Structure 1
Amino acid sequence: MDTIVIIIIAVTCIISYLALNDMRMFEKYKFNVGAILHRKEYFRLLTAGFLHADFMHLLLNMYVLYMFYPPIMAAFGVVGFLIIYIASILLGNLFSLLIYKNQSWYSAIGASGGVAGIIFASVSLNPVFSKIGIIFIPFLSIPGYIFGLLYFGYSVYSMLKPRSNDNVGHAAHLGGAFFGLIYTVIIYPEDAIHNMFYLLIMSLPLIYLAYEIFVRKRIG
């Protein structure tokens, strides 16, 4: 594994662990609409990406990051990988801020936006052969675009279900995925266009989410 990925996973695990055992730290650095808009605490747009709701949430995000990062590193290098990951976290949380701007109480945490950006960039480059093993059953694997479909499908379901308030940044997936896709299209347009069918399949839950947000005005 590349050193930078080890560092990101290690730092995320350490910060998440510390915050889970220190509620004041958790509250200070999580994504919160009121704190960002009224107190101008814009640092939360980034720091929320290093906090997690519990150890399973942390494990899932770091495992997915670990499985999908190699094509990104091979195609974009360390700088490109960092751009996609960090910018996807920021854009994902900015999108959440846009959606929930009228709900000052809304809070969320998680590296979901960054992970979504990495998934979309990876599948844009190699949708079929970018596979992910099932946790604890490494000899079973599914194509990356199928995993992306399930991953985003679950996130959209969790976001839209009644009384959903698990503090996980499901909305950030849409902004993060958008950045990962757009960045790859700009750098490798032919690959992204060639794999558009797989990207469309993986995007179905996010397209539905966009419909619920912008057409039905169900959220916000």
Structure 2
Amino acid sequence: MDQIKDRLLDAALLHVPFDGWSEAAFRAAMSDTGIEPQMARAACPRGAVDLAVAYHLRGDAEMVRRMHRTDLTDMRIRDKVGLAIRYRIEAAEDKELVRRGATLFALPQHAAEGSRLVWGTADRIWTLLGDTSEDVNWYTKRASLSAVYGSTVLYWLGDETPGEQATWEFLDRRIGNVMDFEKAKAQLRKNPLFKPFLAGPDFLARQIRPPHARPRHRMPGWLSPRTE
């Protein structure tokens, strides 16, 4: 099924710039590949929507491959994050394919899927960089990175500067904004005047665990039992 989906995706990429991630593009891909409709529907029950998802995941995989081939030893964490996002955007290659995907996942019936894909990209980046968060930070890191990635993609779609230089400068500013916010939070926590007010929220935040901590529960998070 994966091989069939890959063949359909490769064929559909020629039609998506004109037809979008639509039934027309899916049918054209079936025609181009000669894959029987029954097999194509088995591999992609939702048709072009499944191909759009596969296209996004293919970009994630390419980003991971490029990061593994890059020496990250002496790089700061912000530079590693910025490089990962840049690799991920460059993996898309054709802006029209991404633009059509953004249109698809902006539809109400597919909006949740689009958000899940962006969150998944942020999760792959943090996992790749060795994130070991076991509390609420697991969520905040991915939420912040999802926002940075999403806004940078939108900027990139309208960028006409040579080499997309304006996009990479925009990305650096967005990461800088997040780092400044994290520094401000750290300074706030060090201030003895605010410690009594942060004790309660900090305690609750430490009890929150990421989904992988309890895989038997398909929940977005959980509160650890109180220990004496």
Range of TM-score over shorter length: under 0.3
Q: TM-score scaled by structure 1?
A: 0.28
Q: TM-score scaled by structure 2?
A: 0.27
Higher relative contact order at CA 8 Å, sep ≥6: structure 1 or structure 2? 1
**Larger-Rg structure:** 2
